[in-house]
Chain A
Amino acid sequence: MPDLDRLLDTLVADVTAGTRAPGASTAIKQARRRRAQVAVAAVGAVAFIVAGGALAVGTHRDSDQPSPTTDPTTASPTTPRDSAEPTPISLPDLTASLHAILAQVPAWAITNIPPFPDDYDYAFNGPCSGNWGKGATSGSDGGVAEAGIGHAGFSSEAQASDAAARFVENLKSCTATAWRTRPIAQTGSVLALSSTGVAWIQQNGTDVQVLQVPTTDGPPPVGVQVEVTEWMVAYSTWQEQN
């Protein structure tokens, strides 16, 4: 029988030989940057979602299927499962982070309310031909900072991948809103563009997420696009934890 302790000692020795520590000062800077983002957002963050003309503040819903955006309900548990360890990610932190990413982009701005035309093909629950979310075992939609965000959960990554592809394909069939799609560099995610909004479409494991903001400025800079995809992963993690 193998000596597990010896194997693990070898693992630690290998890691010690091969790892390169960024340094404590970098960790401290990361911590301070996170705190600064929260402070900035505390001043200006406004959480809302506009979906079919309805305004919801900090809404979040889970259901068996992706649900109509015009019927949001409020249910946002935020209690960490393990209270002894401070929650790794919190909704206020997430809200602040997203606001910090989207609020001050040069030459690009989020449109004020009302953001979308009445006949807008909202890129989550609508699109547009076929049922892109068929087979989903869970779903939710809600608002965080200036964005609307929805997700559909599937029982396997393959199903989620198929659904994401179906979603992107189905966007082409929308008629009230003309969507164009393009990949976001090195992320595996897709950016959908219309004349009145931008949507991020992303698969995270068994989830497909769609984050949408109203803007008439087209796509934000690539760096912002990538930052949003990273934020979506963090949001997905938070959803799982809560």
Chain B
Amino acid sequence: MDPSSEGDFTEFYDATWPRTVACAYAMTGILSDAEDLAQEAYSRAWPRWSSLREYDDPGAWVRQVATRLAVSRWRRARTSLGFLARSREPEPAAPPSETTAALVAALKQLPEPQRRAIVLHHLGDLPLREIARIEQCPEGTVKARLSRGRAVLATLLAPQDGEPSHA
């Protein structure tokens, strides 16, 4: 690929990195894992960059891959991306806000398809049609998952007696 491609890719990477990590983080709840997954997704994007750069939203592709990797990772609860982990010293990250911690905890309680739908739609900005294609299910099923997921989150995140709301 020509040097301008690397420049484009770097620009794309820098612009989309936080949201990609956020998607993976919403799935895993562990920031360092989310960063590894995001980096892996970008490393898969680079060989396809000449076509991905023509997409309306190439970031959606990366977020989808990161989310999918997160599902596998979450199921395994193990890391398979040792190269990156070994190449840098882990730095202590600032703890998330109470709001985010509560949201991530609530997301973890959702059934996986509902969580994936919420992350892909609300964080990944993927349209229902695209999620349905990825999940190989009807759009109505995605809608139902989103609806149920949001309802469960509403219950889980609702203020308890004597506790402030997170919203």
Partners in one complex: yes
- With A8-B122, A205-B75 in contact, do A227 and B82 touch (Cβ < 8 Å)? yes
Query: A106 interface residue, CB < 8 Å from B?
Result: no
A77 at the interface (CB under 8 A from B): no
Residue of B at shortest CB range from A157?
B77
Is the beta-carbon distance between A30 and B40 smaller than 8 angstroms?
Answer: yes
B72 touches A240 (CB 8 A): yes
A7-B103, A20-B91, A226-B82 in contact; A12/B123 too (CB < 8 A)? yes
Point out the residue from B14, B18, B82, B136 that lies within 8 Å of A12, measured CB to CB.
B18
Does any Cβ of B come within 8 Å of A237's Cβ? yes
Question: How close is B145's CB to chain A, nearest CB, in angstroms?
Answer: 14
How far is B36's CA from A230's CA once the two chains are assembled, in angstroms?
14
Residues on A close to B: CB < 8 A? 1-8, 10-12, 14-28, 30-31, 33-35, 81-82, 84-86, 88, 204-205, 226-227, 230-231, 233-234, 236-237, 240-241
Q: Which residue of B lies closest to A6 (CB)?
A: B167
> Quick one: closest B residue to A238, CB to CB?
B72
Given A18-B94, A34-B43: A25 touches B31 (CB 8 Å cut-off)? no
Chain B residues near A30 (CB-CB < 8 A)? 39-40, 43, 83-84
11 further A-B pairs in the complex, CB-CB below 8 A; given A20-B35, A20-B93 = A7-B157, A12-B19, A18-B93, A19-B35, A24-B9, A27-B46, A30-B40, A30-B83, A88-B68, A204-B78, A240-B75
Question: Do B42 and A234 have beta carbons less than 8 Å apart?
Answer: no
Alpha-carbon separation in the docked complex, A31 to B12 (Å): 16
Find B44's partner among A7, A81, A86, A226 (CB 8 Å cutoff). A86
Partner among B45, B72, B103, B153 whose Cβ is within 8 Å of the Cβ of A11: B103
Contacts of A24 in B (CB 8 A): 6, 9-10, 12-14, 42
The answer on a CB contact under 8 Å between A230 and B80 is: yes
Task: Judge whether A2 and B44 touch: CB under 8 Å.
Answer: no
Contact residues in B for A14 (Cβ distance below 8 Å): 96-97, 100
Instruction: Give chain A residues whose Cβ lies under 8 Å from the Cβ of B18.
Output: 12, 15-16, 19
Task: Please measure, in the bound complex, the distance between the C-alpha atom of A10 and the C-alpha atom of B165, giving whole angstroms.
Answer: 14
C-alpha spacing A231/B79, complex, angstroms: 10
Looking at A5, A19, A231, which has the most chain B CB atoms within 10 Å of its CB? A19
Q: How far is the CB of A63 from chain B (nearest CB, A)?
A: 22
**CB under 8 Å from chain A, chain B span 20-53:** 21-22, 25-26, 31, 34-35, 39-40, 42-48
> What are 7 pairs between A and B in contact, CB < 8 Å?
A6-B167, A7-B157, A11-B96, A23-B13, A24-B42, A30-B40, A31-B43
Q: Across the two chains, which residue of chain A brings its CB closest to B150?
A: A4
Tell me the bound Cα distance from A7 to B106 in angstroms. Answer: 11
